[in-house]
Amino acid sequence: MKAAIVGGGVIGGGWAARFLLNGWDVAVADPDPQAERKITAVLDNARRALPALYDRALPPEGRLTFHANLATAVVGADWVQESVPEVLEVKHRILPMIADAAGPNAIIGSSTSGFKPSELNAVGTGAIVAHPFNPVYLLPLVELVGDADTCARAAHILRGVGMYPLTVRQEIDAHIADRLLEAVWREALWLVKDGIATTAEIDEAIRMGFGIRWAQMGLFETYRIAGGEAGMAHFMAQFGPALSWPWTKLMDVPEFNDDLVDLIATQSDAQSGHLSIRELERLRDDNVVAMIRALRRTGSGAGGVVTAHEAALPDAGERDSLPVTVTRQVPSSWTDYNGHMNETHYLEASSLATDRFMQMIGADADYIASGRSYFTVESHVCHLNEVHAGDRLTVTTQVLAGTGKRLHLFNRIWRDDVLAATVETMLLHTDLSTRRTSDPDPAVTARLSNWVARHAAMPAPNGAGRYVGQRP
């Protein structure tokens, strides 16, 4: 699959990274000689952040090319994304050029945050709005507006690169999310202009309170809870009248002049000027990754999107005649004060490998739901080499024994070609209702026996049968 990215700014770069890291070839069209430098900077951020959302490796990166000529970039593309400046005349000039060069089945998306499809399509290009959110390589939301069939095809493709398409059924200036953002922006500018609060205080008012609520449930579900068992109608009865309270009168627009710009810029420097934009971006990405990963457990919001996407990623094969049970990138949140992966996450990687091996022998989610599982009873971890954020890990699983209730595994954790750790682990099959050991289902036993037979002739691994402190 090939994506053409027309316009190589922060948003275009984010789109390029999203497609590229999901295995697409990406052709960037931008006459700006700085485009390659700018896109590379976005890609640097994306490569350390996006794979860290997943507990499984993304497909190999596609091929990235740069083109001064738009038609060369667009030809043969399955998706063309226009991210040129938010000026209607510019979009009216570029979109027909894209339509001319693109094949008949290519989807043409515009990153416009404000214009309606009817405005964009005044020149008949068949483009739809595909409005993403910065950083495009991490935030799943894309607002789709335009022809219903095209939006449906677009949604399918975007889900394939881990995004969350939200189809807006009726076109409107600024779609949905930016209307809400604009409302807050107006109010925030008033608060700063009137000297009520600084930019830093407003940011604290958001991130120490409702920002945390909104990251996982949004506005209405949060208020539904506030209404208690009596529900949303009760909440509306309580809160609705506030619509006519005095503060709702402050809705005109502050005058946009140099004084206002200076005021905001000066306060912003005081608040965040100790960090460069690059440092702020990385801080943001680390936080966003960690929070989305945190949401994976319940499956709420972006956490659910990542988990669904991960399930569709390709399986790994074999290594040294052993099944590869984990391939993944190390998120920065797995590292500690020593500047390397903390010991805990060696066992986490091994635990994920064991989970995968259990699936392979049929002890999968359905089996566990039927009341049977394996419990780990002991593990021995040998740390052989350091691992750092961004490293790619591969874990192989060797069966040392697997008869009756016992399952004895040896997981090797590789950092590229370096053996980073071994984890020897013993599990016992358990009845989840009595919490006592029990024999596995015959189908599980049969599959496990196959693996035992395949691994029987392998030499005993170096590091197995060791006690702590034993000389190698």
State in angstroms the smallest separation of the CB of 15 from a second copy.
Answer: 15
Residue nearer to a second copy on the CB measure, 404 or 465: 465
State in angstroms the smallest separation of the CB of 350 from a second copy.
Answer: 9
Residue nearer to a second copy on the CB measure, 103 or 371: 371
State in angstroms the smallest separation of the CB of 65 from a second copy.
Answer: 24
State in angstroms the smallest separation of the CB of 69 from a second copy.
Answer: 26
One-letter identity of residue 381: V
Residue nearer to a second copy on the CB measure, 267 or 449: 267
Residue 210: left (phi > 0), alpha (psi -120 to 50), or beta? alpha
Residue nearer to a second copy on the CB measure, 277 or 311: 277
Closest residue by Cα to residue 264 from 277, 254, 250: 254
Give CA torsion, residues 202, 203, 209, 215, to 10 deg. Answer: 130
Closest residue by Cα to residue 444 from 430, 434, 458, 455: 430
Residue nearer to a second copy on the CB measure, 114 or 160: 114
2-6 and 25-29 beta bridge pairing: parallel
Exposure of 62 in the CB half-sphere (CA atoms within 13 A): 20
- In sequence order, the β-bridge partners of residue 396 are 324, 412
Would you state the structure tokens that stand for residue 145, as one six-digit string?
Answer: 């507006």
Cβ atoms within 10 A of the Cβ of 240, count?
10
State whether residue 50 is helix, strand or coil: helix
- In sequence order, the β-bridge partners of residue 81 are 5, 109
Residue nearer to a second copy on the CB measure, 60 or 471: 471
Residue nearer to a second copy on the CB measure, 286 or 441: 286
State in angstroms the smallest separation of the CB of 76 from a second copy.
Answer: 31
Residue 191 CA to residue 209 CA, distance in Å, equals 18
Does the annotation flag 109 for ligand binding? Answer: no
Residue nearer to a second copy on the CB measure, 313 or 432: 432
Does the annotation flag 7 for ligand binding? Answer: yes
Q: Phi/psi at 369 (nearest 5 deg)?
A: -60, -25
State in angstroms the smallest separation of the CB of 79 from a second copy.
Answer: 20
Token match 């740069």: residue? 66
State in angstroms the smallest separation of the CB of 201 from a second copy.
Answer: 6
Does the annotation flag 11 for ligand binding? Answer: yes
Residue 279 CA to residue 282 CA, distance in Å, equals 5
Does the annotation flag 317 for ligand binding? Answer: no
- In sequence order, the β-bridge partners of residue 407 are 427
State in angstroms the smallest separation of the CB of 277 from a second copy.
Answer: 5
State how far Cα 456 lies from the chain centre: 40
State in angstroms the smallest separation of the CB of 86 from a second copy.
Answer: 8
- CB contact set of 353 (below 8 Å; sequence gap of 6+): 325, 326, 395, 396, 397, 411
Residue nearer to a second copy on the CB measure, 140 or 440: 140
Does the annotation flag 9 for ligand binding? Answer: yes
Residue 158 CA to residue 18 CA, distance in Å, equals 10
Closest residue by Cα to residue 176 from 185, 184, 186, 167: 167
Residue 12 CA to residue 21 CA, distance in Å, equals 14
Looking at residue 398, the DSSP 8-state letter turns out to be: E
15, 5 Cβ separation under 8 angstroms:
yes
State in angstroms the smallest separation of the CB of 106 from a second copy.
Answer: 25
Is 227 exposed, middle or buried, given 0-12, 13-18 or 19+ CB atoms closer than 10 A?
A: middle
Residue nearer to a second copy on the CB measure, 89 or 318: 89
Does the annotation flag 10 for ligand binding? Answer: yes
In the annotated binding site for NAD(+), the residues are 7-12
Annotated binding site: 7-12
